[in-house]
Each structure stands twice: as structure tokens, then as C-alpha cells.
Structure 1
Amino acid sequence: MGMEEAFENGQPTLKKILQRYQESKPGTATKDFDFLVNRNPLLEKIFIGADCAIAIFDASKTNYPYISYKLEQLLGYEAQAYLQEGLCFTLSKIHPDDVPGLLEILEKEMDYIAGLTPNQRLDYRSSYDYRIRKINGTYIRVLQRNLILNLDEANQVLHLLVVLTDITHLKKDNTKILHIINKQESGFAYFYNLAEQRVTKDTFLSKREIEILKLLGKGYSSKEVADELFISIHTVETHRRNMLEKTNIKDTSCLVHFAILAGF
């Protein structure tokens, strides 16, 4: 079944997703992003040095007025393709098995944003991952992080900053996690269940697990984490194993790297 066709049982469709984005009305001119669109050499060098690919997504037009050199290098497609074909072009490159889950994730994200006040929307951040096909036909797994740049006159999302990072070496399976962060509510996620093919809301990582993860990210050993949190080494190791199982990431160093990228 092509992406243009409807999924059964009330699941979201590409057409529905596009229509929801296009509820936003053009307002802020892209001249606000001229320093990016014109390919500022210093910024492009910074993006390459930071090993992240950057794009700006215009919800009202469902296209990308800006694509960084790094994104062109990462996947091999020229920026013009993203500008002309927009979100449809991006979704056409995503692994077919990942499309249904990703469309559900996108709908959950838009539902969540719709319930926020304008100020809360501007504080909103999210991340999720999926497999995408490079121009040579191979697939890589990327983590996409989103930050709302501005709203239209009706306070609908207008421009999103999109940051893509290759995490092929980090994750072991095809589970999808939409992690949401804002000042009012943070540390929870929507999890796409591959077996049941549905999205559920979950705390994902507990408050204690996130505390342990942050200390591990600072280079603490299990003993140092245990001493800092006044718990046993056994408890730390149990939490460590549980986090690896929940995220399907192969080892603790990869888990810490993934958590930093995803904003945990």
C-alpha cells in the first residue's frame, strides 16, 4: 500500500497529516531565515563539526525552505528536492515498515501541541527515530529532534527547526519513541508497539532511571552513582539493565549517547 492510500481502522493517512500541517497560515517571511537559506559558510561549518544535519520545515507549505549541506551529504539528495516536494519527498524515503508508526507518532505530536498554550508551544521540543533511505539505496536510522521556531497569527505552528543525527550504530531494533519535553510536562514518551501496531503513552524511563542516566553521562561509575543517590550498586545495575531493555540499545555508552541526543 502506498503512502497516499489510507490505512485501515482509523489510522492516520499522509493526506490527513499534510492537511493538519497546512492549517498553519503563511505569516513570518522566510527572510527571517536568510542567514541560513543563503548558506552562511560559518554556520554550515559548525553544523558539520557538530555532526548534525539541519533543516527548517514550513508547516503551511509542508516543505523545507532550508536544507544544510550536512543533510545533503548525509542522505545524498539535493536541497532542491526537499524544497519542491517537501514532506512527501521525505516520507517517500522512509522505510515502508516505519511509515505507519511514524504517521501515528506525527499525529500524536500534533494532538499534543494542539493542547498547549502559545507560550508552551514555543517551549516545546520532541524527538523520534526512524529508518530512511539514502540515495545509494541503503537505509540508516536517524534521530529527528524538533524545535518550534515561531507561530502564525492564529498561534499555529509555522516553522520547525529539524535536527537529524545518524544513530544507526546505537539502536538495535525498529521500535519508535516520541519523547516530549516542555516546561510544564517532561520526561514522558509515546511508544509505538510494533506487535500491536499502536501508540501508547508511557513514562518510558522512570525519574530514578533518568537520574542514574544523567550521572552515567557525567562519567560516574556504578559505585559513584550508588554513593551519590544513596542506593546499592545492585540497584544501579538493575536500573541500567532495565534501561537497555526498554530502549533496545546495545550498551550503556550508546544509551548515554542516545539519551543526550534525545534530550532525556
Structure 2
Amino acid sequence: MKVAQTFEKHLQQVCFLPEEIDQQGVSQLLDKFEQLGNTMLNTAPLYFLIDYTKSQYLLMTNSTLEITNRDPREFLEGGIPMLKSIYQPDDFRIYNEKIFPVNLRFLQSQPQAIHHEFIFSYNFRIKHKNGNMVPILQRGCYLTSPVTGQPIYSLGMVTDISPLKKDRIIYQTIERRTENGRQLLEENYYYPYEEDSQLSSQELRVLGYMAEGLSSKQIAWKLNIAENTVNNHRKNMLKKTNTKNVAELIAVACRARII
């Protein structure tokens, strides 16, 4: 089977797959996510289970009332189309075209037998019944077909992060459960609105000096700002360009003729 490039295309493909997942394995994984949620203070996680082959929710807990003021039965009856109807459109575009394809490519690079060991996280906004957009964090894993490696089920938990999330940046991570906790394997930043990803004039000045080989202390002296401010500009530029280090940042900036 040809691998889908977006979430929506994936749903179109897997609807033809037979169900090949051990239901006992699903229950065990849900128990693990519930234990994780119980360790989070002052939160009431929502637990979910999605069957991609039917575009339906098989489980949606009552916490959806607290997060969206919607009865969980609305999701159980409406399925993924119901979720999409309240998903912030720009955030869904990022998930559909960027986040889900990254997850698929990662799964392709790993043996199917250990797919369930990876935790995929990202934040997005959904519409509350009062019209407000609520920022939430979703953490979950995929159960995949032993034959094709394609995700068939998605399960995990969702938490309201309104007290913590004030910007519009989408943060994605891929982790693996280990005996000592969790290992971060990949992280990415996405900007639904292009203006948020543009480098500011001050960031461009800092970047120019970085390209000349100046240290943070030297740049701070030239711009008459604190060294910590220079370091914060560097971190923000790495996020905006999805680069991992200064060398990669300068290379991307040169290719884009920013500097």
C-alpha cells in the first residue's frame, strides 16, 4: 500500500483495511496513559480511542465536557468529522499537511513491533461551545497494522493547557518510553500564521553577527543588550526556522538570502 502523505488521505486509505489489532493490547495501552494522566496535578485529562478504519471514536471520556462543554456522545456519534468541525482550521492544516506526515515517516523508520512504544505529542486549538478557542495538548500513540505498518488506532489523552499556552506556535515531539522514563527523539515547531515565523529586525541583526562568528557576549556589547537577550533571540530563531543548531540556522538563512 502506498503511504498517505496527509492525515485525510490516510483515513481514505485505511478504511479498506481489515481490523488487525489485539483488543487486549489496546486496553493495556489505555491503562498506561491513564496512569500517566493521574500523575499530572490540577488537570483532568480526556482519554480517547480512535478507529481510523471507521473514522470513529470508540472511547471519549467525560472530560470533554470540561474542555469543550460538549457531551462525549457528540464525538462518539460524530466521529472524526465532528472533531474536524471544531478544530481550529489553521491548526488542522498544520496537522494534516505536516505533523501527521512526520509521524508516518517516523513510524516507517521503525520496526512495526515497537510502534506502540512511541509517544506522539502536539498542541492545537479547538472551539469551545461559547466560541472561544481552547489550546490543548494531545499525547498518544498509534497501533499499526502488522502487515502494512499503517496506523489503525490512535489512543491517548488530551489536556487543557490554557493557563500555560498563550502563543499560536504548535510544538510537536516524538518520544520513546524507556525504563528510565522517556527519551526525546524528535521535536518540531510550526507556525500556522506566517507572520509569527518571520525573524524580527533585532533577530536579523543578531543573526548577521552570528554569521560573522561573534560570540553572544560580543553581540550583546555591539547591540547594547543583555547577553541573555542574545541567547533568547538565538533560541527563537532556531524555533522559527526549525533548525537544530547555529550552523544549520546560518545555512538556512543563507539559502533563503536572509543574510
TM-score class, shorter-chain normalisation, is 0.5 to 0.7
* CA deviations over 1:81-101 (Å, ceiling 9, x no partner): 222322221121111222211
Provide closer, same or farther for how the CA distance between residues 79 and 33 of structure 1 changes in structure 2, counting only shifts above 3 A.
farther
Task: Measure the CA separation in 1 of the matches of 2:146 and 2:111.
Answer: 14
Q: Tell me the residue number matched to 1:258.
A: none
- In the other structure, the counterpart of 2:254 is none
Correspondence for 2:122 among 105, 120, 128: 128
CA RMSD after TM alignment = 4.0
Q: Which residue is 2:200 aligned to? A: none
1:245: Cα distance to partner? 7.9
- The change in CA–CA distance for 1:110 and 1:51 in structure 2 (over 3 A counts) is same
* 2:64 equivalent among 67, 71, 95: 71
Contact kept in structure 2, 1:30 and 1:65, CA below 8 Å: no
Mapped to 2, the partners of 1:243 and 1:15 lie a distance apart of: 33
| Structure 1 match to 2:188 | 190
Match of 2:201 in 1: none
> By how many angstroms is 1:66 displaced?
0.5
Partner of 1:160: 154
- Unaligned runs of at least 5 residues, structure 1: 1-11, 198-233, 249-264
Deviates more, 1:168-177 or 1:47-56: 47-56
Contact 1:21 1:62 in 2 (8 A): no
Can you list the C-alpha shifts for 1:31-67, whole angstroms capped at 9, x where unaligned? 8768999xxxx99x96997521111111222211001
- Aligned partners of 2:158 and 2:14: how far apart in 1? 20
Percent identity reads 19
| 1:107 partnered with 2:101 | yes
Aligned residue pair count: 196
Match of 2:44 in 1: 51
Structure-2 separation of matches of 1:135 and 1:164: 17
Of residues 106, 113, 117 in structure 1, which corresponds to 2:111? 117
Change (3 A) 1:123 1:165: same
For residues 81 and 57 of structure 2, what CA distance do their matches in structure 1 show? 11
Contact residue 137 and residue 160 of structure 2 kept, 8 A = yes
What's the CA shift for 1:18? 1.8
TM-score, normalised on structure 2? 0.60
Instruction: Tell me which amino acid in the other structure corresponds to 1:60.
Output: T
Given candidates 87, 103, 107, the residue that maps to 1:94 is 87
Q: Which blocks of at least 5 consecutive residues in structure 2 are unaligned?
A: 196-225, 241-259
